[in-house]
Structure 1
């Protein structure tokens, strides 16, 4: 009997010991992946100087191999009869089940996700001469493996999400939450990479030359997709080789008219601001394909040329890319860096150049210098991998958006984050979008906060409260007149630094507004729709130094899923708070 009684105790001891060993292996795997991430971010040369150590591709391969080996050992340690039995003990087995599932997910990620991603990055940089084109055949060949990696990452997230949310061991619960948070970032990023591998070869001129209009958005004056469309360029792609044909500014496009019909909903919501005939208002909608179609049509009307697509990026994106490429230099010797490009283009230049024409020439100089620096880095094997990683990050953040005039490519792009499309699903959504209605450049100083909180269950749904808080942190004095000028000519007195915004909340499909409250008092808001989603808009005066709070009390369909948050990229990031929902009827 004493021998039999010792069997369960031995099993518990085995699980405890192997659990500690598995934890050590998982930490080692994580450290190897962090080393890999640092190598990519630093853009280590493919071939080091004399005595500098092994080439970067060998270090990358070593980091991937180490991560995979440690994760595989953690998986083996948490497999077997003892762990299976422990994971199925009612209540007490929760931590064992979580550790076992986390180790399996880590093994899957290391072998089936990280390894193909690293292999593709190496293939795109290895053997490429300086100033050479992007290796389109390597990219095309990697597409199937990257697609499988995206599916593996998604499956791993589903498996981790199915693990017990709360057990009697808080440290295990926290580890699960951290892993799930990483997967929540990794899954869409992996999907983006796989989609890019499918469409980039043709978009980069695999079968013939392509031409794109590239718009640089000025986020000091907010528009739906980000910022006001200012400077622009024409980018050509031919068999992987990129070049810029020309550069211009919004003055050149001021009279361009886009003959494009975007539907009755669009006209009702945005039409009074003439977005198809006024270049600076062409991207009032947060749905980027609308703006891109307007830009393509306006370019054809202006130049008589068709373009194959459109791209948009802002100074925040340029900052992220300059980290990888290194600084650019202007004709007067000014260095444009990751640390100063946002300030140069969106704040200090307004004080340095009082003449509008001089300032716009400065913007074009910055655009040219940075564009050429990025193209140079893309042709440099020592920097290409880091630049691709930086570009992937900016695409994922929505600071670089892409649209194709070719249907098959656009269908792929529109499903991804860098397509900039409003989600076309019935899943919960919370979107705060602001458009500058004053003509100021004060959105450089705008703070935004959005809180989404589910309330009580009601007939056929649940109550939801969306709280929007906006703060104008413009200084009381010292700003140039061009920054503070009010072209809206309001019928009430204003002071320098006061701003006016069209504040729109994009809600879940089918949502109904019960009440809107501004600064504690009921207020009427405009109710419209875009792509089938309800949109609630308020024309808001925002004094310098003031904070205003808009609360929307809504009724939405019941769901246990948190909302997707629509993030408008501006100078200062959106502060978002999403309270956890629960399914009505639980």
Structure 2
């Protein structure tokens, strides 16, 4: 059977299919345009959102910065942030510091919130264009963590400590500090993490303002991180060192930087300091002549003996601190005191007139027995220059130095007993530490392990990496280092199969006047065989290089010169016996091969009357 073909009838108009196709084209045209417009509007809207929120975030970050500046300034005041007398012990009212820190944390958190979300995240991933946005996001996040997890806990601790000082005295302060030690440690850890994150942000983008903000944040964190670490160590060791768990006694040396020694200056006047539950007092004041004939027997290792043994540092008091490694001097001093008196000491401190000046700036002037006001502006000149012109008699001059030390120390003790002075004193101590004018050593091994990690321990670091240290010891017996200027330039050169070549240029200038100085200041107790003039000086100049470094050449004022090699704590040490005439400069240039010199060196800064001027030139990476 054949199936017939059936035509399905078409009931519409013949052109309807064509019209339908045209209609679809008419509909699809506007739809496509709308889709395209919408697609174009998304990045435009995102850009507008980023622009608006960026402006708001900047405003919040500026407000946070304003609060943090006010927070820093408030710590320099005395009584403004103490809780009111009506506040019960253990429940102090929120202090000005806490309010400022809380406000800063709030602003920083809002800035962080404003720079999060899909628009910011996506835009920050764009090649080239996203660099500034990634940096802004990172700055906001870093500011949030810094204000909320670092500064707020620290600001919260300080008022509680001061409240304790008012309600329970210094022992309560130390108890509070001990309880806050974990918070300080956490804050230091977070600060280091934030710094590392900030250093990892794009620093060279197409938007200079963002680059400047990133640099500013990194610089601030580079300063903050060591301070938080110092605070964490202080919270761990200060209570016990100040006698919270039993009375302590310490040797306190006042170093005379007019005659340079490795740790700073000649150990002249000294005191024995007693700490009993936070209360500080002095048991004894003396000068170097009291301990001149005392001999000690301290095993400081073969390197120390090889480097300094010929100068008899354990029996010649004036040579007891030739090494820049402060624990060596501290162990000699405490052993000498024990041999002299039979009394055990728990550690040693060293400060100099520069440190006294910084501390007196916080406390106000001290009064000498003769009525002289000892101030931040005159203490260095009085002790390092004027006293030599004022007294011809050596005994009278040494007694004057002791009186100066006693007057300044007494003023500091009075201030330390006043809780309103604590913030200003802490700020001054931080400045003293930053200049290297305070050195601390504990005879208790657990405390010393904590202290050794911080610069104020005076420890010569023994780790690997590039290192540069210019250390001078006065070899003439003069007091002319008051007039000494020093500069050091560290310049990396070409990469070698041994690491990298490094050129270190050291210039020393003797500004001593040609006349008018007392004989005691200019006298040469080294009795040189060559002719000298009043004001001429002689120094043992030692350069400390990085571990594994090797000297390849040296010139003095452009002429080749031989250096005396040595080693201390693993560092190669190169020493030159240098005659430095008055009103002259001499330049020593060392060329070395350093095994690790891809980054800036650790600088050893010997604290003398005039600070060392340092220039470090950048080093690019070696290898592919």
TM bucket normalised to smaller: over 0.9
Structure 1 match to 2:43: 8
Which of 359, 373, 385 in structure 1 is aligned with 2:411? 373
Matches within 5 A, 1:11-26: 11-26=46-61
CA RMSD of aligned residues (A): 1.8
The question of 1:341 aligning with 2:376 is answered: no
Secondary structure of 1:126's aligned partner: helix
Deviation at 1:21, TM superposition (A): 2.5
* 5+ residue gaps, structure 2: 1-35, 86-91
Which of 481, 484, 501 in structure 1 is aligned with 2:519? 481
Deviation at 1:46, TM superposition (A): 4.7
Look at both structures and tell me which one has the larger radius of gyration over its CA atoms: 2
TM-score, scaled relative to structure 1: 0.96
Which of 34, 40, 65 in structure 1 is aligned with 2:75? 40
Once the two structures are overlaid, the 10-residue window that deviates more, 293-302 or 379-388, is 379-388
Secondary structure of 1:285's aligned partner: coil
The question of 1:461 aligning with 2:523 is answered: no
CA distance in 1, matches of 2:482, 2:137: 48
Contact kept, 8 Å, 1:558 with 1:584, in 2: the verdict is no
Structure 2 match to 1:177: 215
Which of 425, 429, 432 in structure 1 is aligned with 2:470? 432
Secondary structure of 1:91's aligned partner: coil
The verdict on how the C-alpha distance between 1:558 and 1:237 changes in structure 2, with shifts beyond 3 A counting, is: closer
Structure 2 match to 1:81: 118
Which of 517, 539, 542 in structure 1 is aligned with 2:577? 539
Deviation at 1:130, TM superposition (A): 9.8
The question of 1:360 aligning with 2:398 is answered: yes
Which of 114, 122, 141 in structure 1 is aligned with 2:151? 114
Secondary structure of 1:42's aligned partner: coil
Secondary structure of 1:217's aligned partner: strand
Contact kept, 8 Å, 2:77 with 2:423, in 1: the verdict is no
Secondary structure of 1:252's aligned partner: helix
Secondary structure of 1:178's aligned partner: helix
Contact kept, 8 Å, 1:282 with 1:291, in 2: the verdict is yes
Count, aligned residues: 582
The verdict on how the C-alpha distance between 1:131 and 1:62 changes in structure 2, with shifts beyond 3 A counting, is: closer
CA distance in 1, matches of 2:530, 2:275: 51
Once the two structures are overlaid, the 10-residue window that deviates more, 433-442 or 173-182, is 173-182
The question of 1:195 aligning with 2:233 is answered: yes
CA distance in 2, matches of 1:267, 1:127: 48
CA distance in 1, matches of 2:352, 2:189: 31
The verdict on how the C-alpha distance between 1:118 and 1:393 changes in structure 2, with shifts beyond 3 A counting, is: farther
The question of 1:156 aligning with 2:194 is answered: yes
Matches within 5 A, 1:51-90: 58-90=95-127
The question of 1:509 aligning with 2:544 is answered: no
Contact kept, 8 Å, 1:208 with 1:239, in 2: the verdict is yes
Structure 2 match to 1:406: 444
CA distance in 1, matches of 2:169, 2:522: 46
Structure 1 match to 2:532: 494
Deviation at 1:291, TM superposition (A): 0.6
Any idea what the Cα deviations from partners look like across 1:307-356, whole Å, max 9, x if unmatched? Answer: 01000011111111112212111112111111111111111111112221
CA distance in 1, matches of 2:326, 2:519: 31
Once the two structures are overlaid, the 10-residue window that deviates more, 98-107 or 17-26, is 17-26
TM-score, scaled relative to structure 2: 0.90
* 5+ residue gaps, structure 1: none
CA distance in 2, matches of 1:82, 1:366: 66
Matches within 5 A, 1:444-459: 444-459=482-497
Matches within 5 A, 1:298-313: 298-313=336-351
